[in-house]
């Protein structure tokens, strides 16, 4: 099979998006608008694999890789949400091949071609990506190193970060369990400082019940958007975790009908507030438009309600405490109970 590698044009974005929609679950696939943004901002980083048409007329897209640039050296929600021209980190958003052309080495060959072009460009220091665990062997064959579990949340399944340093010119250095730099000494006190930093605990979360005026003290009514927003960072309420779930000013405060998040009579941790039985109202933080705005969140498998709606329950991605809230499967609204998150106040 003869494959042509070339940049994906604006006119071919709908073909690329169709491949994406067939290759990823609904809660992971990028939108056509997102594709247009990436191609308009970084067209040189949107590479396609094409089958030439008959007599070399026309071409058919069968796979693609698309990226943007970031100054960060690891992937975060922020580094994956915007393109910063002139930056040194190439952040891969998607590697996707049409289903009928999989298991033919198309993805691996496309990745190798992509890496080759970036190395020849001489403008970049590294390539970063996140992948599900089962795809780790593919990226390792393309020269990527496994970094570990990523803090990025996109869809229901966990992601793992992988990295390829373009500035590296040889095999990886031998392992060094002591952590001491080989060939030179660490500056005095640096290793001890790093050890102290690694032992730091997360922030301590204040529960809603600790505020004398309850929710009135944790909303910011003067936000520019008009609707009250969260005045403080929202944290995992579990003592000893305190992982940051959402930054201040991101969620809207809403009073709406309660939702039954666990079976009647079940025991919940003391740090999770009780929710009234529907149809009584409860206090919620509404997060939109997608899960990428969270700093840290985990999702359960879809749970079918008595009314037939499928819900995904939200939990802390660090310690699995939950449920903290809910979202409808495939929806763009995420609801956190005000009394089931902590506050960095």
**Partners of residue 235 on adjacent β-strands:** 244, 342
Give the chain's domain count. Answer: 2
Does 139 share its domain with 228? no
Structure tokens at 183: 């060939």
Domain extent for 121: 4-165
Does 91 share its domain with 20? yes
Does 158 share its domain with 269? no
Q: What is the pLDDT of residue 240?
A: 83
Say if CB 90 and CB 124 are below 8 A apart.
Answer: yes
The helix-helix angle for 32-41 and 13-23 (nearest 10°) equals 130
Q: What is the pLDDT of residue 335?
A: 97
Strands 160-165 and 229-230, by their bridges, are unpaired
CATH code where residue 320 lies: 2.170.150.10
| Closest to 81 (Cα-Cα) out of 245, 312, 294, 299 | 294
Where is average pLDDT lowest: 99-113, 134-148, 200-214? 200-214
Convert the pLDDT of each residue in 52-92 to its tens digit: 887 666 899 999 999 999 999 998 888 888 899 999 999 99
Structure tokens at 179: 């952590």
Residue 276, domain member (yes or no): yes
Q: Is 185 helix (H, G, I), strand (E, B) or coil?
A: coil
Convert the pLDDT of each residue in 228-271 to its tens digit: 999 999 999 998 888 999 999 999 999 999 999 988 778 889 89
Q: How far, CA to CA in Å, does 103 sit from each of 114, 115, 253?
A: 19, 20, 48
227, pLDDT greater than 60: yes
Does 255 share its domain with 323? yes
Q: What is the pLDDT of residue 174?
A: 41
Q: What is the pLDDT of residue 325?
A: 96
Residue range 208-231: mean pLDDT, rounded: 87
Q: How many residues does the chain have?
A: 345
Does 328 share its domain with 220? yes
| Residue 179 or residue 3, greater confidence | 3
Q: How far apart are CA 261 and CA 335, in angstroms?
A: 11
Does 20 share its domain with 157? yes
Does 337 share its domain with 213? yes
Residue 178, domain member (yes or no): no
Does 43 share its domain with 147? yes
CATH code where residue 36 lies: 3.40.630.30
């Amino acid at each position: 099979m003869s494959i042509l590698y070339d940049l994906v044009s604006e006119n071919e974005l709908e073909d690329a998006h169709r491949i994406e929609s067939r290759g990823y679950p609904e809660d992971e696939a990028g939108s056509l608008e997102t594709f247009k943004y990436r191609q308009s901002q970084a067209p040189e980083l949107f590479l396609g694999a094409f089958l030439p048409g008959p007599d070399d007329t026309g071409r058919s897209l069968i796979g693609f890789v698309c990226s943007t640039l970031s100054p960060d050296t690891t992937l975060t929600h922020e580094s994956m949400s915007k393109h910063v021209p002139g930056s040194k980190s190439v952040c891969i958003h998607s590697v996707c091949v049409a289903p009928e052309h999989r298991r033919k080495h198309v993805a691996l060959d496309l990745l190798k071609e992509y890496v080759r072009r970036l190395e020849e460009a001489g403008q970049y220091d590294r390539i970063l990506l996140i992948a599900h665990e089962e795809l780790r062997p593919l990226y390792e064959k393309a020269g990527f190193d496994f970094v570990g579990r990523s803090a990025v949340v996109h869809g229901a399944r966990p992601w793992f970060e992988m990295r390829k340093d373009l500035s590296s010119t040889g095999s990886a250095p031998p392992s060094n369990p002591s952590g001491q730099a080989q060939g030179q000494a660490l500056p005095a006190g640096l290793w001890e400082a790093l050890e102290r930093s690694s032992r730091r605990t997360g922030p301590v979360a204040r529960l809603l019940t600790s505020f004398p005026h309850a929710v009135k003290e944790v909303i910011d009514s003067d936000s520019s958007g008009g609707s009250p927003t969260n005045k403080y960072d929202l944290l995992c309420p579990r003592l000893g975790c305190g992982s940051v779930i959402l930054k201040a000013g991101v969620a809207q405060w809403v009073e709406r009908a309660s939702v039954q998040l666990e079976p009647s009579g079940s025991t919940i941790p003391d740090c999770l507030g009780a929710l009234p039985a529907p149809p009584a109202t409860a206090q919620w933080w509404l997060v939109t438009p997608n899960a990428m705005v969270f700093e840290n969140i985990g999702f359960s498998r879809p749970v079918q309600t008595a009314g037939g709606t499928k819900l995904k329950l939200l939990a802390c991605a660090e310690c699995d405490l939950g449920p903290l809230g809910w979202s409808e499967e495939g929806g763009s609204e995420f609801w956190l109970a005000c009394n089931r998150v902590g506050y960095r106040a």
